[in-house]
Amino acid sequence: MQILRELKHQMRVISNPEYRVALGGYRLLFIGTGQRVMKNKGWWRTRLNYYALDSSDLRQVVRLPENKLDFTRERTELVLYSPNLTYEEYYETPCKFEDSWIVFQNSTPHDPIAHLVQENGFCIFQDAGGVVRPLLYQTSQIASQNVEARWIAQIAFLRIMTHLHQSTASTSSRRIIQPLVEIPVSNGTPFHRKTMRIIKQHLASDLSVEQLAQLLKISKSNLSHRFSVEMGETLTVLRNRLRIERAQELIRGTDKTFKEIAFEVGYEDPAYFSRLFHLKTGLSPKAFRQLVSRSLSSER
């Protein structure tokens, strides 16, 4: 299976002392994201000595035999399991699905996440807006040989931890993930503010590094160095993120077609836009609009 091959690669890389990662009171062990194939049906048992955050594009029943507890995990939900917890996932039929999960451990005397799972050893996070899934994908770059990609992956992992902490309680074992309150742009550096303003102004065009350097009135080499340090993402990654965020706003607030939205945010190929939107949010544009519509209806 592709995801298992990727896990083996990441385990080799992350176990290397040169790449070992300890972040925010946790040690990231490995992360798997990609397509998973389950060839059998029935219960699949897992028990780890570490925390596991699991996100699957699959609705399934989960059983905790030690606690004599069952629950259903929806496609838009993530589950955080505490260390040394046995859990079993039910597969009704052999299937293929997208799966993402992180395994990590506490690395300090104080465990800042234990309160989320202390009651039954697990916590379900409703991620209807697809906030965390793109971060799972970014965190998978932790095994990259590219230093910049690994740095971005570390930031993504910390953002995931922040989302878990800032989620709001729905029930004793369910919490709701909301978009983080972003730091106002005025608190950034002048370079950061100006760069973000220019990129947003040219979001619908494929602004090149050379063109951006000209607009910022600096050399291309100076821009390349400062961009990775002060922006935290490559130009392509940042632009795609801003485009998808803008697309989400348009889906929420307008009745425009997905083709119109794709063109407005800078994608000439609506099919590519749909694939990228699904990759970044975990939902297709259509499913995202339906989800927003149901959420608004339930609030009325």
Tell me: the pLDDT tens digits for 82-96?
999 999 999 988 888
The residue among 129, 147, 176 that closes a domain is: 176
Answer yes or no: is pLDDT of 299 > 50: no
Specify the pLDDT at position 11: 60
Least trusted range by pLDDT, from 52-56, 82-86, 186-190, 207-211: 186-190
205 and 289 fall within a common domain: yes
Question: From CA 217, how far away is CA 19, in angstroms rounded?
Answer: 36
The CA radius of gyration of the chain, in Å to the nearest whole number, is: 20
Token pair in block for residue 190: 């002048």
Q: Do 231 and 255 form a contact (C-beta atoms < 8 A)?
A: no
Contacts of 49 (CB under 8 A, 6+ apart): 83, 84, 105
Specify the pLDDT at position 277: 86
Answer yes or no: is pLDDT of 187 > 50: no
Query: Nearest Cα to 154, choosing from 264, 21, 56?
Result: 21
- Greater confidence, 234 or 21? 234
Answer yes or no: is pLDDT of 125 > 70: yes
Query: Nearest Cα to 271, choosing from 252, 258, 287, 256?
Result: 258
Query: Nearest Cα to 42, choosing from 88, 111, 86, 73?
Result: 88
- Most confident range, picked from 57-66, 98-107, 135-144: 57-66
The residue among 128, 151, 176 that closes a domain is: 176
239 and 97 fall within a common domain: no
101 and 202 fall within a common domain: no
Q: For residue 254, what is the domain's CATH number?
A: 1.10.10.60
State the pLDDT confidence band at 188, using cuts at 50, 70 and 90.
low
Q: For residue 48, what is the domain's CATH number?
A: 2.60.120.10
Query: Cα angle vertex 177, ends 119, 99, to 5°?
Result: 85
Answer yes or no: is pLDDT of 184 > 70: no
Mean pLDDT, the chain, whole residue set: 81
152 and 77 fall within a common domain: yes
166 and 54 fall within a common domain: yes
For the chain, give the percent of residues with pLDDT over 70: 83
Question: From CA 210, how far away is CA 74, in angstroms rounded?
Answer: 45
Query: The whole model's pTM is what?
Result: 0.58
174-176/122-126 β-pairing = parallel
Query: Nearest Cα to 33, choosing from 72, 1, 7, 60?
Result: 7
Query: Residue 104 sits in which domain range?
Result: 2-176
166 and 292 fall within a common domain: no
112 and 189 fall within a common domain: no
For the chain, give the percent of residues with pLDDT over 90: 22
State the pLDDT confidence band at 212, using cuts at 50, 70 and 90.
very high
Where does the chain have alpha helices with state H?
Answer: 2-14, 133-139, 147-166, 190-201, 209-216, 220-230, 235-253, 258-265, 270-281, 285-299
Answer yes or no: is pLDDT of 72 > 50: yes
Specify the pLDDT at position 52: 92
241 and 153 fall within a common domain: no
Token pair in block for residue 55: 């996100």
224 and 269 fall within a common domain: yes
Token pair in block for residue 244: 């998808």
154 and 247 fall within a common domain: no
Specify the pLDDT at position 106: 83
The residue among 132, 158, 176 that closes a domain is: 176
Mean per-residue pLDDT, 218-234: 81
Answer yes or no: is pLDDT of 182 > 80: no
Specify the pLDDT at position 64: 92
134 and 191 fall within a common domain: no
Answer yes or no: is pLDDT of 186 > 80: no
Which pLDDT tens digit goes with each residue over 97-119? 888 888 888 877 677 788 888 77
Number of domains forming the structure of the chain: 2
State the pLDDT confidence band at 283, using cuts at 50, 70 and 90.
confident
Answer yes or no: is pLDDT of 295 > 80: no
Specify the pLDDT at position 183: 44
46 and 129 fall within a common domain: yes
Collapse the DSSP code of 114 into the 3-class scheme (helix H, G, I; strand E, B; otherwise coil) and give the result: helix
Question: From CA 7, how far away is CA 22, in angstroms rounded?
Answer: 18
Question: From CA 48, how far away is CA 151, in angstroms rounded?
Answer: 27
State the pLDDT confidence band at 168, using cuts at 50, 70 and 90.
confident
Return the bridge partners of 63, or none.
Answer: 70, 88
